[in-house]
Every structure is written in C-alpha cells, then in structure tokens.
Amino acid sequence: MKLHLRRITVALAWGCGLLLFGCWPGVTRAALPTAVAGEPLPSLAPMLQKVTPAVVNISTKTRVAVRDPYFDDPIFRQFFGLPSSPRQRVEQSLGSGVIVDAAKGYVLTNNHVVGGADDITVTLQDGRTFKGKLIGTDPDTDVAVVQIPAKNLKALPVADSARLRVGDFVVAVGDPFGLGQTVTSGIVSALGRSGLGGSGYQNFIQTDASINPGNSGGALVNLNGELVGINTMILSPSGGNVGIGFAIPSNLTAQVMGQLIAHGKVVRGSLGVQTQDITPRIARLLGLSASEGVVVTRVAPGSAAANAGLAPGDVLQAIDGKPLHDSDELRNAEGLLPLGSQVTLKISRNGDLQQVKATLTPEKLATLDGATLDRRLAGVRFSELSMAQRSQGAAGVAVTGVQGGSRAARMGLDEGDIVIGVNNRRVTSLRELRGLVAMQPRQLVLVVESDGGVRYLPMD
C-alpha cells in the first residue's frame, strides 16, 4: 500500500513539473514571453508576409520527339505513306522561382526547371499568371533567369551568402508537388558542398529544411527575409526529403544572373591546363612524397597558365590556399570564379615549392556552325571540348547551342550534349565531325552523350 501511494506521489510531482512547477509553493514559475517585437509569441509570420509574394510557381511544357525504330526509318515511312515529321509528346513539369528585380520582372530559378522548355508559365502568389521569357540558362551551375511582363511585383533582397555560418536558421519557400506555396524551416547544415555527382560546378549550401520535388528554384532565406540561396536538389535514397537538401549560394546566383542578363550565357575563365590525378604509382614515378595535387599534362599556348610559367610535369597542389585533391576540384574552382579573377597557385616543380599568380582568361575554343556541315544541322553550334572536359576523360565535340524549333531541337539535341559519333563512327574533333557528316548524304545519325547516358538521334 505504501509503495502504491509513493508511486502516486511521484506521478503527481512529475505532473506538477510539467505544469511549470505550479504545484509547489515558493518556486518561481517559468513563463513564455508575452510579446516579441509586438507579437504575442515568436513567429516567422511577419517575415514570411514579406517573402512569400516574391516566390512564384513555374510550370513548363516541352515538346519531345518520340523515338520509334520503324517510324525513324525513311523507307518504312515512304512505304506506308507516313508523314516525315517526327511524332511528339508534351512533357509538363512544375517548379518554383524567386523575383529578384521587381522593376524589370527578373525571376531566378533552376536550369533544370526551365531549360529546353517550349512554354513557360509563371504564377504569382496573388493568382496572376504570365508567360515567361527565358533570358538565359547556365546548366553548369543549374541557374536560369526568366522575365515576366508584370507590374506591382515584390522582389527579395539578396544577402551576402559568404556571411552564412553552419547553424544559422534558414527557411525554404517553394511549391512542392504543385500543392501551393509551402514553407519549411531548418538550419544550415554545411557550406561549400561539392562532389555530389554530375558535371556541373558545385558549391552548395546544405540544409535540413525540407526540400521536395517542386521546391526547385525556390527561395532559401535567412530570418531577415533575405535571399541566401536557390533551392536546387536533395540527396535521398527514396526520392523524398530526408533532411539533406542543397541550395545554390546567392553570391553565385547573382554572379551568373548578371552574365545571363548581359550576354544570355556565362563566359568562364580558365587556366588553360589539362591535368591528371596523382595515383600512388604516378607519385613514385614523379618522385613525389605525397599524392596530393594534380599533375599538369598539357598547357595551352597563350593561356593563363602559360603566362604564369606553368609547364607539363608541374604539380598543382593548391589554388588560393585551398588544397587540390583531384582534377574535379580544380575544374570546380575554375568554374566558380568570375572571369578575370587573379588566383594564387601553389606548385611543386622538381620537388621545389613555388607560388605563382595567374589571371583567369576565356578559353579560346574552335567553333563550327552546323549549317555549314549539312542543312539538317542548321541551328546547331559545335565547339571543341575544353581542357577541363578533356581532363575528365571526355572525348568528342561539344554542342554549345541549339536553336529552338530547328530540326535538331525537335529530334532532342540539347545544349551541353557531346557528340561522340556519326553513324557509329567515332568523333573526337571538329575536323572529324566535318569529314564524317560529308560522307553521309542520305541517313545522318548522331551518337550523343549527356548526363542521361548515350543516345542515338536520327537527323533525317
């Protein structure tokens, strides 16, 4: 009986504890604040009232050619009297965007939200809908700029993302799953994340604020309601949010946006070197005490590296004090720096450590207009691969532009693709591309490589 009463006494005492010690005389009561900044309780609502009108929904429609081995055969089409134009299907997608210039109607979003789209529709929080004009895209950073002809817009102020710290509170605003505008909160989990796969330049803010499909292109803001990042992707085994989301820092998006508005594309600087990762075996052959850094295998004449005195056999160990572990890190560092940036390179030459300065300059690559090769390639611009791409083992010819509505666009050729073959013949240069296309007067099939793998594109 005494044991039973004791349990009741303990339970009551614990219950009183949950009631802020109100059962015990003489104990000071803990209480929630009565007001914070004029609000009865701490709330993000006042800040969000300013932020949410600047976050928009973006829906796109993309016409994609339907591949069919029989329909693609011109003899089969002629025999059955089928039309020569390829069949198409319309793909629709949803995403988000952020108004960053109210006067000019500029909206920041992701390249993967609007890139290649035939129709872009932007819906504001107040329900107004506008047809969006694509100003430019940058697949390498996954940034795009859309313009809408709207008045009375509200834009987000852009913060200096370099001032972010791990642990800072952030809020993600977007339109996940097309449900309507949604807000989630969390903290900055990490800064400068890279190496997440893909070929783009990466310098992500990692956050545990929930980011789900449809949030792409939405805003990541600080507690002052300032834009610190553009939500872009999640890392998830299931495809849903698990608390590992990534945003592109506002400083990087502002830099890219400026170039897209001014030129419609991004021109990046380059050192002009081709490099190779240092394996333990290569380290032994070069007489290196460690395998840290990348070895220079080629220096382009007249490049920034050549002007700085770099030569094949040099080992690049660091750029602006940041150690280099592989060629991907060097490529990422080059791509994220503005054109004209001066960098300090730490190099090892014959065992001697040196520091040299180099100014990033545009890489001069030979280009070719597809119309000069064949009328079926009109509207396509080709170029040689960059030194950075070759350092990664890429081979072929880069597609640097595809005119909308052209035959190539209808057949599915995209900017950023790499043509690695023509009718199953290998292509490694513009000269080879010209020669192989000239040999195909009737049927022309491009073998194309991209992030989605290798595919065949009939151009007939």
User: Do 387 and 358 reside in the same domain of the chain?
Assistant: no
Q: Mean pLDDT throughout 111-124?
A: 88
- pLDDT per residue over 134-159, tens digit each? 999 988 889 999 999 999 999 999 99
**Spatial CA neighbour of 53 closest among 118, 125, 103:** 125
Decide which of 356 and 67 is more confident. 356
Q: Give the highest mean pLDDT range of 53-67, 159-173, 394-408.
A: 159-173
pLDDT of residue 242: 73
> Is 194 labeled as catalytic in the residue annotation?
no
Domain limit, last residue, from 362, 388, 423: 362
What three-state secondary structure class fits 449? Answer: strand
User: Do 124 and 212 reside in the same domain of the chain?
Assistant: no
pLDDT of residue 450: 81
Query: pLDDT band at 98, cuts 50/70/90?
Result: very high
Q: Is residue 94 part of a domain?
A: yes
Main-chain dihedrals φ then ψ at residue 340, nearest 5 degrees = 90, 0
Q: Is residue 59 part of a domain?
A: yes
Poorest-confidence range of 162-171, 279-288, 395-404? 279-288
- CA distance linking residue 265 with residue 140, whole number of Å: 11
- pLDDT per residue over 233-279, tens digit each? 887 766 666 778 999 999 999 989 998 998 888 888 889 888 888 88
User: Do 142 and 59 reside in the same domain of the chain?
Assistant: yes
pLDDT of residue 134: 93
Query: pLDDT band at 129, cuts 50/70/90?
Result: very high
pLDDT of residue 11: 35
Measured distance between the N- and C-terminal CA atoms of the chain, rounded to whole angstroms: 94
Q: Is residue 254 part of a domain?
A: yes
pLDDT of residue 74: 60
- CA distance linking residue 228 with residue 122, whole number of Å: 22
Domain limit, last residue, from 227, 260, 293: 260
- CA distance linking residue 268 with residue 338, whole number of Å: 7
Query: pLDDT band at 394, cuts 50/70/90?
Result: confident
Q: Is residue 43 part of a domain?
A: no
User: Do 303 and 216 reside in the same domain of the chain?
Assistant: no
- CA distance linking residue 55 with residue 256, whole number of Å: 19
Catalytic residue among 138, 140, 142, 208: 142
**Spatial CA neighbour of 225 closest among 415, 107, 451, 55:** 55
Catalytic residue among 161, 189, 216, 391: 216
Q: Is residue 338 part of a domain?
A: yes
Q: Mean pLDDT throughout 106-110?
A: 95
Q: Is residue 7 part of a domain?
A: no
What is the number of domains present in the chain?
4
Domain holding 125, by residue range, is 54-147
User: Do 221 and 193 reside in the same domain of the chain?
Assistant: yes
Q: 19, 13 in Cβ contact below 8 A?
A: no
User: Do 320 and 344 reside in the same domain of the chain?
Assistant: yes
Q: Mean pLDDT throughout 192-218?
A: 83
CATH number where 386 lies: 2.30.42.10
User: Do 172 and 194 reside in the same domain of the chain?
Assistant: yes
Domain limit, last residue, from 362, 379, 394: 362
Q: Is residue 92 part of a domain?
A: yes
Query: pLDDT band at 15, cuts 50/70/90?
Result: very low
Catalytic residue among 93, 101, 112, 414: 112
pLDDT of residue 224: 93
Residue with tokens 């690695």: 420
DSSP string, 351-399: TEEEEEEEE-EE----EEEGGGT-GGGTTEEEEEPPHHHHHTT--SEEE
Poorest-confidence range of 106-110, 178-182, 285-289, 454-458? 285-289
pLDDT of residue 34: 57
User: Do 204 and 286 reside in the same domain of the chain?
Assistant: no
Determine which helix (DSSP H) or strand (DSSP E) holds 204, and give its type and residue range: strand 204-207
What three-state secondary structure class fits 62? Answer: strand
DSSP string, 116-184: T-SEEEEE-TTS-EEE-EEEEEETTTTEEEEE---SS---PPBP-GGG--TT-EEEEEE-GGGS--EEE
Poorest-confidence range of 212-216, 292-296, 381-385, 391-395? 391-395
pLDDT of residue 14: 33
If you average pLDDT over every residue of the chain, what do you get? Answer: 82
- pLDDT per residue over 202-212, tens digit each? 889 999 998 88
Q: Is residue 165 part of a domain?
A: yes
**One-letter identity of residue 44:** L
pLDDT of residue 180: 78
User: Do 129 and 171 reside in the same domain of the chain?
Assistant: no
CATH number where 60 lies: 2.40.10.10
User: Do 291 and 256 reside in the same domain of the chain?
Assistant: no
pTM here is 0.72
**Spatial CA neighbour of 222 closest among 156, 266, 278:** 156
> Is 85 labeled as catalytic in the residue annotation?
no
pLDDT of residue 1: 36
Q: 371, 406 in Cβ contact below 8 A?
A: no
- CA distance linking residue 177 with residue 350, whole number of Å: 57
User: Do 167 and 242 reside in the same domain of the chain?
Assistant: yes
User: Do 411 and 438 reside in the same domain of the chain?
Assistant: yes
> Cα 208 to the chain's mean position, in Å?
19
